Structures are given as C-alpha cells and as structure tokens.
Amino acid sequence: MNPLSEEVCRNVLEAVERCGSIAAAASELGIARQTMQDRVRVARARLGKAAQIMVEMPSFVEEGDEEEPIEEIIDRMSRNFERAKKAQDARKWFPIKIKEEKPVGILFVGDPHIDDNGCAWPILRKHIDIAKNTEGMFAVNIGDVANDWGGRLIKKYADQDTSVHTARRLVEWLLLKSGMPWIVWLHGNHQHMGGSVSLHEEMNRRYGTQHVPMLDWEARFVLQFPSGSEFRINAAHDFAGNSMWNPVHGAVKAAKFGDNIDVAVCGHKHNWAISQWEQAEQGNSPLMIRVRGYKHLDDYARRIGKYEQEEGQSILVVFDPNAKTQSGRMTAFVDVEKGAEFLSMLRK
C-alpha cells in the first residue's frame, strides 16, 4: 500500500488525535518520531480541508450572547445616572436645622495638617477646647486634615516624625474623640493625594455616634432657624480665582456670582483674610473669608519668600437670627476666644 495514500494519511491523523501527540502516536505505531512527524506533515498537506473533520471544535454561543445585552447596559447606566444625580441634588444647599432661636457660632477650621511637625498643636487644642465648651458653637472642617503625602511627594514622610499609622489615629481622634462639634467635613487635595477619603468616610460611618456630612471639596448648606431665618453658607477647600492683591479673591467671586450666599469661606493657601460689603443687587452683605490653617514652620513657604502669618488658623462666625440689619446678622472673629465670649453674651 502506498504510505501516502489517503487511507494511510487518515490513519496517521487519527493516531495523533487518539494518542494526544505525535510522539505517543509514533510509539503506538512502532515507528520513529521523526518519521511520524514527516508523515503527519504530508497527511495534513494531502488531505487539506478534509483533515479538519478529524478535530471536533467546541461549540461557542452565538456572537454577543456571552456579553451583557446593550439594552441592559443602557438601562443600568440610566439607573446609575438617576441615582447619582439624585444624590448630587440632595447635597445642593442641604439644610442644617437649628432647634432654637438663639445665635450660634460656626468655627471654620483651617487646614489642620494634624500630623505635620509644624502643626500648631497648642493653638489647635485651645480652639478645640473653646468649641466643645461653648454652648451654641459648631465646627466645619475646610480640609487637608492630614498631610497624606502621595505620588512624588510621598518621600516627604521622611521629613516628619509622625508615621502614617499615627497620623490616622490623630485623624480618628479629631473626628470622633476630640469633642469638636462637627457639622460638616470637607475632603481637601491632600486627602485625594494620599487616598484617605474612603478611610475618613469609613471612620465616620462605622464609629461615629452622629454621622457628620462629608463632602468632596465643597459644601453648600443652609442654617435654618425655627423663625424661618436662614443663612446660606458656601464652604470650599478653595475657590477658583487668584490675586496677589486680594487673598479672598476666589471667595469674592463665589459670593458675587453664587446663589445668594451669606458666607463664602475657604482655606488651602495657608493665609487668612476677611472681607464684607453690601451687594445691593443681591440684597445681602456677604462675608468672604479665607482661613489660614494650623501648618506653621513651613520650609517650602520660607524658601519661596513667603512671610508666615501668626493668626487666623480658624475663624469663628457668629450668626444672629434676631439681628436688625444685614451687616449685623453675621460677625467674624479671628480671635476665637473673644468670639466665643461674644456668642455667649448674645445667647444670654
């Protein structure tokens, strides 16, 4: 029989398929492996397409069936958008209801950088004590609660005494155990750089006895008093806009072009300022504030020629729902202790 006949070629390919390899088929047929390999090559060339019937291909599902149908993807994305839009809308000018008609104070807490070697802990501790021991006082965290170094700046951890573990313990203490009466907590750029946003939110959700509203970068909320008096507050880690002549330039823009804002307050740049004037076209007299924060002994600021301010780490604003004038509705204090005394006097 001709070894290259169609029958021999089929027998060769069947042996390879049955044995699982050319070497095993050669052993079964009692011929050399190289000879078997040559015969397989000849058989495949001779039979061509006919050889394909010797291999049973798996049966896949029809094209596209193994993927989520496009209509279901669109339905799912539509539901996700509606849920996200509803959540975003709920955060626009959300209410914080005051249960009595007496004046209240909000301490706008500048960037703490609580784990930095230059954190002014004596001042921060004093402000915490004043806030938690003054009736009618609350606090808003403007962001950058810790250094949270990340990216190329992660090497900065070598320049501070506080470890990442200790920094997180300090944040937990400030949020949950310090007694600071938080009503809003913002995430600043350092929290995004170090990826600690979800950690703060988990601390708040799991361990907080009263969950503090935590928002990314900015919060717009309304203090509402029983009489109907309201104060609209736009707090942000920072506002867009810079000016070497006006440290509250961004806050001025926010108050000028915002939605009837009473207080526009931000931090981030480690300097402080307060401005207030009447906006006749809006019928209000907004306060525009930048808080300095607690990071002192800043080598970077010194190297670029900046002078270090000594005050304005946090700024207290007293809100009086019973005031007779627009300008008298809100009073800002850089001296937090004096502002607390003023608040206590008004509440009497």
User: Which CATH number characterizes residue 272's domain?
Assistant: 3.60.21
140, 131 in Cβ contact below 8 A? no
Structural domain harbouring 117: 89-347
**pTM attached to this predicted model:** 0.79
Same domain? 124 vs 269: yes
Same domain? 143 vs 20: no
Same domain? 105 vs 164: yes
Same domain? 275 vs 185: yes
Same domain? 104 vs 20: no
Cα–Cα distance list, 49 to 44, 53, 218, 245, 327 (Å)? 8, 8, 68, 83, 92
Same domain? 13 vs 119: no
Question: Would you say residue 67 lies in a domain?
Answer: no
Question: Would you say residue 47 lies in a domain?
Answer: yes
Question: Would you say residue 101 lies in a domain?
Answer: yes
Question: Would you say residue 78 lies in a domain?
Answer: no
Same domain? 236 vs 120: yes
Question: Would you say residue 64 lies in a domain?
Answer: no
Tokens coding 293: 């924060």
pLDDT in 10s for each residue of the chain, 348 residues: 445 678 888 888 888 888 888 888 888 888 888 888 888 888 887 776 444 545 555 655 555 567 788 999 999 999 999 999 998 888 889 999 999 999 999 999 999 999 999 999 999 999 999 999 999 999 999 999 999 999 999 999 999 999 999 999 999 999 999 999 999 999 999 999 999 999 999 999 887 677 899 999 999 999 999 999 999 999 999 999 999 999 999 999 999 999 899 999 999 999 999 999 999 998 899 999 999 999 999 888 888 888 999 999 999 999 999 999 988 999 999 999 999 999 999 998
Q: Please report the pLDDT score of residue 1 as a whole number.
A: 42
Give CA–CA dist 18/33, Å, rounded: 16
Same domain? 44 vs 130: no
Continuous segment of H or E residues that includes residue 249: helix 249-257
Residue labelled with tokens 């939605």: 259
Give CA–CA dist 194/49, Å, rounded: 60
Q: Please report the pLDDT score of residue 48 as a whole number.
A: 65
